[in-house]
Amino acid sequence: MARKPQRTLRLVHTSDVHLESDTFGTGARGDEFRERVRRAFSGVIDLANGRESDLLLIVGDLFDSSRVPNDALKFALSEIGRARMPVVMIPGNHDAHDERSIYAPLPADALPRNLHLILEPEGRMIDFPDLATRIWGKALVEHSPDYRPLMGMPEPAHDRWNIALAHGLYTEENDTGRSSPITPREIEASAYDYIALGHVHVFGEMSHGTTKAAYCGTPAPLYSSAEAGWVACVSCVPGEPITIDRVIVDR
């Protein structure tokens, strides 16, 4: 029988912040909206610190595009550096790791020391021995039907919390032609403890089999809706079911 970790793991899971979106417009109104989105991301960091989370997961589309002004990039990296825990991040379809990647030119010494940025298209596993946790993710290069966010996942470790990051669209097996598809079968077959999903802007649980999976929604006010302004707070407690709570972000 698989031996699970004997320590509790607390995660804050966010995605789809979309800093510096071109849709914000210009002038005072555009500047105001950009500032509201920045405050939302700052609120995510504050929430993770306030809850003394073990890890913060950013599951793609931190930026709305690869055309990001230097001050916006410095803001984002500075805020990530404020987090009092390791931060694991993957690119999404808006900030894809392609030939225009915003992340490729960044030297290692420009990144906060707590940031683990996964840029490998084939995926990379990161071990956190003190947290009894392994995290796997991969960089999105091209948002197309050929890209499978969960393809290539390693087998889960028996003595670790197994967490994956995946930016794509949850869809049924027979719903062909959708870009970056994530299927129920893939989620269940992974046998991971939790899969943090990004790409969909509303909160929703997509768990299958023994694997918990969820979209956290966006923390940013990207539209006037009660579904904006949230993160997912995940608790992995030995001997208990994993819980996923939708928590509002204070902006």
> If pLDDT is split at 50, 70 and 90, which confidence band does 4 have?
confident
240 is a domain residue:
yes
Is it the case that residue 72 has pLDDT exceeding 80?
A: yes
The predicted model gives 82-104 an average pLDDT of 96
65's torsion region: left (phi>0), alpha (psi -120 to 50) or beta? beta
Which residue type sits at 96?
A
DSSP3 helix / strand / coil % (the chain, rounded to 5): 20, 25, 50
Is pLDDT of 56 > 60? yes
- Token code pair at residue 209: 């089999």
Instruction: State which residues form the domain around 185.
Output: 9-248
> Which DSSP helix (H) or strand (E) runs through 213?
strand 212-216
Q: Of 133, 137, 138, give the one whose Cα is nearest residue 162.
A: 133
Does the pLDDT of residue 206 top 90, yes or no? yes
**Does residue 2 belong to any structural domain of this protein?**
no
Residue 60 lies in a domain: yes
The DSSP code for 97 is: S
pTM of the predicted structure, to 2 decimals: 0.94
The two structure tokens encoding residue 84? 């009092």
User: CA angle, corner 214, sides to 208 and 215, nearest 5?
Assistant: 140
Mean pLDDT confidence for 29-50: 92
User: CA-CA distance, 164 to 159, in Å (whole number)?
Assistant: 16
In a domain? residue 4: no
Q: What is the pLDDT of residue 32?
A: 84
CATH value at residue 178 = 3.60.21.10
Question: What's the structural domain count of the chain?
Answer: 1
Residue 216 lies in a domain: yes
Residue 131: what pLDDT?
98
Query: Hey, how many other C-beta atoms are within 10 angstroms of the C-beta on 188?
Result: 15
In a domain, 3, yes or no: no
Report yes or no on 1 lying in a domain. no
Confidence of residue 108 (pLDDT cuts 50, 70, 90): confident
Q: Average pLDDT of 133-157?
A: 96
> pLDDT band at residue 1, thresholds of 50, 70 and 90?
very low
pLDDT digits over 207-231, tens only?
A: 999 999 999 999 988 765 656 799 9
Q: Give residue-wise pLDDT tens across range 10-33.
A: 999 999 999 987 666 667 777 888
Q: Which residue stretches of the chain are H helix?
A: 27-50, 70-82, 184-190
Residue 64 falls inside a structural domain: yes
